[in-house]
Chains A and B, each alone.
Chain A
Amino acid sequence: MSGRSTRETERLHPITLSCRISGLLGLFGAVLCGAPAILCGAPAMAEDAGLFDGGKLLLTNGVSTIEGSAGGGLASWAVIPGMETDHGIGLSAFATDVPLRDFNLETHGFAIGLRNRLALGYARENFDTLSAGEALGLGHGYTFRQDIVTARLRLVGDLVYGPQWLPQITLGTDFKHNLNGAVVRLVGAKQSAGTDFTLSATKLVLGSSVLINTTFRLTDANQFGLLGFGGDKNAHRSGQFEGSLAYQMSRRLAIGGEWRTRPDNLGFARETASHDVFVAWAPARHVTLTAAWVDIGPVATFRPQRGAYLSVQIAC
């Protein structure tokens, strides 16, 4: 940690920093380079008015999941995105790239948090089939796209404060709209749009510096919805589990692992649970960088898809 104390000096950090890392993420890095200034500039001015208080403790806003809700990357958590506390508004934007063995998943989006109570988010997922697209008869680089709108309502509890036995509990829903309806129906999906329901409980157990998260999700999504919803094997929603365990190394650094089970609805290709191990680092107040090793299991008859997970989140 530097000798500089005030939030003022920290506020300047992320802009230069995210510019430096922008090279890592190509185009999205370049876009994000200006994002803290654009995203957090006005809120910083409004901070005096108390609207954008930016008062959450570092890392307690979580990182954006591939679906745009706040969580640990793969698993949704009960946290509300943005740096606001219970009297303010918070904003959050992210870009994530997941280069797998045969595919590439790219996702980006933004979210707003209201009074650390309600969260609304939007994300776009682009799943590039690269040369696998040819083998699948879709054409090289055929890309599945999906729009996701997420909503979360914190019911009770606090991630950090309050009784140690009471986690922060959040009810949520993900509205997913796959943009490749014809193709996903062809592979056996029943629908091109679907709605997930989530119930999450998350707690930072300060005494042991450990964060524990469990999420119960009702979903009919095939490969997160990228291959549509429901299938010939199973047409309806089923209950799935997401678990995360993280250890806080410092104010700015956490490491952890996640496990997420998924339905197996499609006859033509098996789908299994996915998991990851991650490092999340907040080099500055408004920036969180996440690097993970992820395994989402076999996709569309292809071998288990493992790879890196790289994500930048700007929040204020």
Chain B
Amino acid sequence: MLGLVPIALALSSPAKAQNAPDGVDWFKEFGVEQPRPDPVSGELPVKPYTVTDANAGATPFAGSDMARTFGGQDGIHRLAHRLVTLIITDPAIKDIFVATDTRRLERTLYEQVCYILNAGCTYTGREMREAHRQLGLKTHDMNALVEDLQRAMHERGIPFAAQNRLLAKLAPMKRDIVTR
């Protein structure tokens, strides 16, 4: 497993791979096509898909109470940022994210949560089943992410009852996310 990490890291940051100590661009040598990050957003391209709010996997809350409780778009931005920081360092699940484009993940997570909380966003990411299909996730991965999310929400001072109301929207997604 550890042996794969450098490879995965190299895959996720093509720039570094080209400046390898031996000066050889192995991707070029082997004719491997490198995904080019978008010059503006820095995100890597993904396979085309239909963009629709339905991909968010939950219906939004009615009214503006939940959006306000989560600190509006600004609060949700900070929440998404903190969540991504936590999950990519959580010993229980960090290995799953070594090859993930975390810029895109943070943006789409933000959009998804913002959409569900009815804080004025549209969700432009992929469907949950599609995004997690290849990952072979288990229930304890899901629980680890939920605990990281709980921690991020707690740090932002979001009352526990409101935390659970958001989790109630996410919980049914488990059947699309956890495949093992």
Contacts and interface: CB of A to CB of B under 8 A. Distances in A.
Contacts of B146: 57
Interface stretch (B110-118, B124-132, B157-165): B157-165
B91 A55 contact: no
Contacts of A248: 160, 164
Contact of A209 (B142, B151, B161, B180): B161
Contact of B174 (A58, A88, A161, A205): A161
Contact of B138 (A8, A87, A160, A161): A87
Interface string A249-260: 111000000000
B151 A1 contact: yes
B174 A162 contact: yes
A185 interface: no
Contacts of B161: 208-209
A29 B130 CA distance: 50
Contacts of B141: 55
Contact of A206 (B140, B147, B154, B165): B165
A85 B138 contact: yes
B85 to A, nearest CB: 10
A207 interface: yes
17 contacts: A1-B154, A5-B86, A6-B91, A55-B92, A55-B141, A58-B147, A87-B139, A87-B180, A161-B174, A206-B164, A206-B167, A207-B165, A208-B164, A209-B160, A248-B164, A251-B147, A251-B160
A87 B164 contact: no
Given A57-B143, A206-B171, A5 B151 contact: yes
B118 to A, nearest CB: 15
A6 B90 contact: yes
A56 interface: yes
A313 to B, nearest CB: 19
- Counting chain A residues whose Cβ lies within 8 A of the other chain, the interface size class is 20 to 34
Contact of A85 (B139, B147, B150, B165): B139
B36 interface: no
B172 A163 contact: yes
A162 B177 CA distance: 12
Given A6-B91, A163-B172, 19 more contacts: A5-B89, A5-B90, A7-B90, A8-B91, A53-B138, A54-B140, A55-B141, A55-B144, A57-B146, A85-B138, A85-B143, A87-B138, A116-B139, A158-B174, A162-B175, A164-B168, A206-B165, A207-B164, A248-B160
B160 A250 contact: yes
A56 B143 contact: yes
A134 interface: no
Nearest to A7: B92
A231 to B, nearest CB: 45
Contacts of A207: 164-165, 168
A89 to B, nearest CB: 12
The 9 closest A-B pairs by CB, nearest first: A55-B140, A206-B168, A85-B139, A207-B168, A161-B174, A85-B140, A53-B140, A206-B164, A209-B164
Contacts of B89: 5
Interface string A141-169: 00000000000000000101111100000
